[in-house]
Amino acid sequence: MSTVSATGGRTPRIAVIGGGLAGITASIALAESGADVTLLEARPRLGGATCSFSRDGLTVDTSQHILLGCCSAYRGLLDKLGMAGHAPMQDRFDVTVLAPGADGQPRKARLRRNALPGPLHMLAALGRYPFLSLTERMSVSRPALAMRRVNPADPATDRQRFGDWLAAHGQTERSRRLLWDLFSVSSLNIAGDDASLALAAVVVKTGLLGKNNAADIGVPALPLGELHGDAAATLLGKLGARVSLGAKVSAIEPQDGGGYLVRLADEDLTVDAVVLAVPHEKAAPLMPPGALPGQTVAAWAGLGASPIVNVHVIYDRPVMDLPFVAAVDSPVQWVFDRTRISGLSASKHGASKHGRPGHQYLAISLSAADQYADTPVARLQELFVPALAELFPAARDANVAEFFVTRERRATFRQAPGTAALRPPAATQRPGLVLAGAWTDTGWPDTMEGAVRSGLAAAVELRRTVLKPTSPIGERQ
Ligand SMILES: Cc1cc2nc3c(=O)[nH]c(=O)nc-3n(C[C@H](O)[C@H](O)[C@H](O)COP(=O)(O)OP(=O)(O)OC[C@H]3O[C@@H](n4cnc5c(N)ncnc54)[C@H](O)[C@@H]3O)c2cc1C
């Protein structure tokens, strides 16, 4: 692939600030386009919000992540990283939903799609969903049909609350809590009723009403640090890009003759172009004056933040026999078996290499977790150990060997009505300065897919303005 640079024949130097999925994606695409790329990441590792750490010999992801079949750009990145095989997809959307039962036995539903084309693929499963009355089940088709006419790109759509819209289409409080929340709370990280209708429409139209495999779930089989950060560092090295870790950028200063001075603690960097791929609250103070009109940058504060808390419980024996389940009528939302991925699973000789033979490691993922963000660990243990026992009878006789909590207080922006207008596109008014990040105007929720799409959009913009491409960057890289 050849490029004609806008830098007088010299290879354009580009600084990508922020080593999350957006920055990683932009760096790869730009390095592949022939740019001289330096990726600057403040932390000692790549991967941003998708990261892992070691704890007593276990590899712990700060938060369980999943992907969906419709995440084409993110899956394209995994392909590029050589990691697609480590994020296996379900053969069909298949979610077991548990609820505590009055007789002490959990109630159980299985939402498994069939092979019919979307949106018919979910009808049979929803028709049998036992947590709703027959009338409630029959009314689910009303919003499903009406959603086809909702335009997520219409600003009026983004001014509405998803809950109000569902209620106006016949969805009772129970239908919203026991069915719709299953999909919207985890994908939008905000209490179901409070989500922007525009973002909820993207989820519902793409995931539930689109192709029949669009909502099939993929669960990483490797710790996120390996799946993204380590693999990206390797690929970027092969592409000739520099990765600078522990490199916190303190300012981006436009230069008189064009280009930018990127200020770092140790040494400054002079570049032709910059991709700023950091969260909105970190991006705002780095934006040079005049990069965007008027109060645009100040308004980003309105995007806010929404927390995700993960509760990690290690039992002295197996208590859950599925890779993951969802829960309703319970403080538990989604539970994942992390025994193997954390390195806890038994070796072929029957003994755990970490001295916890036969133990099972579960992680409860709690989205829209405002009420738990500052709750003491002991209180969370009092709440969630009995809640798990209500869902998994085997847990009642099991001992909790370890209990710990990870909290991401600014996990995503707060995906409420009115946020679409605050999300900026990649291009700014300053030549060679572009924005990326899952919070920018991708049209997608703040997800891995959104982050990758934003990185691609940033790279496309710089290829158009700085690199003058001879071949386009595709959505699947
Ligand atoms: C707990 C949790 C659970 C989630 N679950 C899912 C899920 O299941 N599925 C899904 O699709 N998405 C999920 N998401 C969302 C997804 O992780 C994010 O949307 C995505 O990873 C954001 O990527 P990003 O590159 O835009 O930003 P980030 O990952 O935030 O990366 C930004 C990077 O910029 C760096 N940085 C900041 N300031 C500077 C500076 N001054 N100089 C240099 N570097 C700087 C930061 O250190 C960071 O590494 C989850 C997020 C969280 C937090």
Whether 40 lines ligand 1, by a CB cut-off of 6 Å, is: yes
Residue 354: per-residue pLDDT: 63
CATH architecture of 119-208: Orthogonal Bundle (1.10)
Strand-pairing partners, residue 271, are 260
Whether 21 lines ligand 1, by a CB cut-off of 6 Å, is: yes
Per the listing, tokens 């990206």 go with 232
In 65-191, the DSSP E strands lie at 67-68, 94-99, 107-112
- What is the CB-side half-sphere exposure of residue 229 using CA atoms within 13 A? 22
Whether 363 lines ligand 1, by a CB cut-off of 6 Å, is: no
| Residue of 46, 286, 448 to test ligand 1 pocket, by largest number of atoms within 8 Å of CB | 448
Distance 119 CA to ligand 1 centre (A): 31
| Residues 394/212, Cβ–Cβ less than 8 Å | no
Whether 25 lines ligand 1, by a CB cut-off of 6 Å, is: no
Whether 262 lines ligand 1, by a CB cut-off of 6 Å, is: no
Whether 279 lines ligand 1, by a CB cut-off of 6 Å, is: yes
- 92-113+216-220+306-412: CATH topology is Polyamine Oxidase; Chain A, domain 2 (3.90.660)
Whether 451 lines ligand 1, by a CB cut-off of 6 Å, is: yes
Whether 48 lines ligand 1, by a CB cut-off of 6 Å, is: yes
**Closest ligand 1 atom to the C-alpha of 43?**
47
Residue 266: per-residue pLDDT: 87
Whether 307 lines ligand 1, by a CB cut-off of 6 Å, is: no
Instruction: Please enumerate in sequence order all residues whose Cβ is within 8 A of that of 404, keeping only pairs 6 or more positions apart, or say none.
Output: 55, 312, 377
| Residues 162/190, Cβ–Cβ less than 8 Å | no
Residue 350: per-residue pLDDT: 45
Residue 9: per-residue pLDDT: 75
- The residue whose C-alpha atom lies closest to atom 20 belonging to ligand 1 is 448
Q: What is the pLDDT along the chain (477 residues), one digit of tens a residue?
A: 444 456 767 899 999 999 999 999 999 999 999 999 999 999 999 999 999 999 999 999 988 999 999 999 999 999 999 999 999 999 999 999 999 999 999 999 999 999 998 888 988 999 999 999 999 999 999 998 899 999 999 999 999 999 999 999 999 999 999 999 998 999 999 998 999 999 999 999 988 888 999 999 999 999 999 999 999 999 999 999 999 999 999 999 999 999 999 999 988 999 999 999 999 999 999 999 999 998 999 999 999 999 999 999 999 999 999 999 999 999 999 999 999 999 998 544 444 556 688 999 999 999 999 999 999 999 999 999 999 999 999 999 999 999 999 999 999 999 999 999 999 999 999 999 999 999 999 999 999 999 999 999 999 999 999 987 554 554 443
**Closest ligand 1 atom to the C-alpha of 21?**
25
Distance 20 CA to ligand 1 centre (A): 5
What DSSP element (H or E) covers 168? helix 162-168
Whether 15 lines ligand 1, by a CB cut-off of 6 Å, is: no
Which strands, in side-by-side order, build the sheet including 269-271? 249-254, 260-264, 269-271
Whether 42 lines ligand 1, by a CB cut-off of 6 Å, is: yes
Answer positive or negative: Cα dihedral of 41, 47, 49, 54. negative
The residue ranges of every structural domain in the chain are: 13-50+223-303+417-467, 92-113+216-220+306-412, 119-208
- The residue whose C-alpha atom lies closest to atom 53 belonging to ligand 1 is 411
* pTM score of the predicted model: 0.95
Distance 44 CA to ligand 1 centre (A): 14
Distances (CA, A) of 412 to 44, 278, 303: 21, 12, 9
- CATH number (3.40.630.30, 1.10.579.10, 3.30.360.10, 3.50.50.60) of 13-50+223-303+417-467 reads 3.50.50.60
